């Protein structure tokens, strides 16, 4: 029937609308997959370098080697991965490189000593970086640090340490293995004579065995992994530990915070102990494209769940308690943004490293 008045109504739009919706969904799917394809195209055939701020042979280096073995298969394009150690300046050299000079395209990441944000806050010597601007990828988890003395040193506990001077090997002022004994000297009455200049913790271990130095600090996990016989054969005496709580195997060894004389000292020691929460952190330089940071973070977390990775870590005696990049960034922000009054007192506690 012909309609005399008004426009002729159009045909039902539903079939066209259905086809249009299908096309739209297909386009959206392609666009959603585009970033993944783009990253796969970027990383394919590339080599990612893990810059290690410590020397060869230590815990950071060993874990980085395991990452290099397993992480590439979780990155689109399956790039190659190598580890390059860049020791120096108590881990500051490598950190400065990652901030000022490393390529910002996703092909360079780093594992740095967890004391670096604290060094920026309390010391600052040699610092040409802002830890808050790194792209933090994650961490294998926290672990307690311990201070220990060689059995022949005659220092069995903190009481002895307050009475007798012993030499302690260190790398540089920015390293936790120097920060903790320095604070113990200036705040708790310890008598470490700190000897700087070693390139790695492995060198310090050898120096202890040769009698060049009598003590050091470092990860308890690394100690069990690399020098378990020192513990089983009673070649060392553990003096105190640094962490949020006592390690289950060291219930009778005091935390550094347990040695505080009052609440103010305890707050200072808590700030100084903050690196422990970072574990072994990994980062990418500032300015790395966000989509590549996202890929690296996802690959990092996937590696943390990889059975092969976990098996290799277990073989070395390394604990895995993964922390996300966002978590690490928050701890870093709290450390570099600590209350000025506590920072000032902590700076006094660190003072000048008593080193020769």
**Residue 319: what pLDDT?**
83
Contact 198, 204 (CB under 8 A): yes
Distance from C-alpha of 349 to C-alpha of 150, rounded to nearest angstrom = 26
**Residue 143: what pLDDT?**
85
Digitized pLDDT (tens) for each residue of the chain, 356 residues in all: 333 344 434 444 444 444 555 454 444 444 444 455 567 789 999 999 999 998 888 889 999 999 999 999 999 999 999 999 999 888 999 999 999 999 999 999 999 999 899 999 988 889 999 999 999 999 998 889 999 999 999 999 999 999 999 999 998 776 778 989 999 999 999 999 999 989 888 999 999 999 999 999 998 988 998 899 999 999 999 999 999 889 999 999 999 999 999 999 998 999 999 888 899 999 999 999 999 999 999 999 999 999 999 999 999 888 898 999 999 999 999 999 999 999 999 988 887 554 44
Residue span(s) of the chain under CATH 3.40.190.10 come to 145-275+344-350
What is the pTM assigned to this prediction?
0.72
Residue listed under structure tokens 């701890």: 331
Distance from C-alpha of 92 to C-alpha of 136, rounded to nearest angstrom = 17
- Determine whether domain 145-275+344-350 maps to CATH 3.40.50.2300: no
233: its two tokens: 């054969």
Distance from C-alpha of 150 to C-alpha of 222, rounded to nearest angstrom = 16
Q: Phi first, then psi: what are they for 278, rounded to 5°? A: -85, -20
**Residue 16: what pLDDT?**
41
Distances (CA, A) of 216 to 122, 147, 171: 21, 6, 11
Q: Cβ neighbours of residue 31 under 8 Å, at least 6 residues apart? A: none
CATH of 42-142+277-339, one of 3.40.50.300, 3.40.980.10, 3.40.190.150, 3.30.1490.20: 3.40.190.150
**Residue 346: what pLDDT?**
92
Residue-by-residue DSSP string for 240-286: EEESSS--GGGTTSPBTGGG-SSHHHHHHHHHHTGGGGG-SEEEE-T
**Residue 172: what pLDDT?**
79
Contact 58, 198 (CB under 8 A): no
Distance from C-alpha of 118 to C-alpha of 242, rounded to nearest angstrom = 14
Residue span(s) of the chain under CATH 3.40.190.150 come to 42-142+277-339
Q: Which of 278, 261, 269, 280 is nearest to 338 (CA)?
A: 269
271: its two tokens: 């700030």
Longest CA–CA separation in the chain, Å: 113
Report the 10 Å Cβ neighbour count for 269.
23
């Amino acid at each position: 029937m012909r309609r005399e008045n008004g426009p002729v109504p159009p045909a039902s739009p539903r079939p066209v609308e259905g086809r249009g919706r299908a096309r739209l969904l297909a386009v959206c799917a392609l666009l959603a997959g585009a970033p993944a394809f783009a990253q796969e195209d970027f990383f394919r055939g590339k080599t990612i370098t893990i810059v290690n701020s410590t020397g060869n042979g230590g815990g950071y280096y060993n874990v980085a080697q395991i990452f290099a073995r397993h992480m590439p298969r979780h990155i689109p394009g399956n790039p190659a991965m190598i580890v390059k150690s860049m020791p120096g300046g108590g881990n500051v050299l490598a950190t400065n490189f990652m901030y000022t000079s490393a390529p910002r395209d996703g092909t360079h990441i780093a594992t740095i000593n967890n004391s670096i944000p604290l060094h920026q806050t309390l010391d600052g010597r040699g610092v040409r970086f802002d830890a808050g601007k790194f792209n933090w990828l994650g961490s294998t988890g926290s672990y307690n640090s311990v201070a220990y003395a060689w059995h022949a040193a005659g220092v069995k506990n903190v009481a002895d340490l307050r009475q007798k001077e012993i030499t302690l090997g260190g790398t540089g002022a920015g390293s936790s293995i120097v920060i903790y004994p320095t604070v113990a000297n200036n705040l708790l009455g310890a008598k470490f004579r700190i000897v700087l200049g070693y390139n790695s913790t492995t060198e310090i271990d050898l120096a202890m065995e040769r009698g060049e130095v009598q003590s050091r600090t470092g990860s308890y996990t690394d100690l069990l992994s690399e020098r378990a016989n020192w513990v089983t054969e009673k070649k060392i005496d553990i003096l105190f530990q640094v962490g949020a709580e006592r390690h289950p195997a060291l219930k009778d060894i005091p935390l550094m915070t347990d040695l505080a004389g009052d609440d103010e000292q305890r707050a200072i020691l808590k700030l100084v102990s903050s690196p422990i929460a970072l574990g072994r952190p990994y980062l990418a330089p500032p300015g790395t494209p966000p989509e590549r940071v996202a890929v690296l973070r996802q690959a990092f977390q996937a590696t943390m769940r990889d059975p092969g990775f976990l098996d290799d870590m277990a073989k070395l005696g390394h604990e895995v308690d993964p922390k996300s990049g966002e978590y690490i960034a928050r701890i870093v922000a709290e450390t570099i943004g600590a209350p000025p009054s506590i920072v000032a007192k902590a700076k006094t506690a660190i003072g000048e490293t008593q080193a020769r």
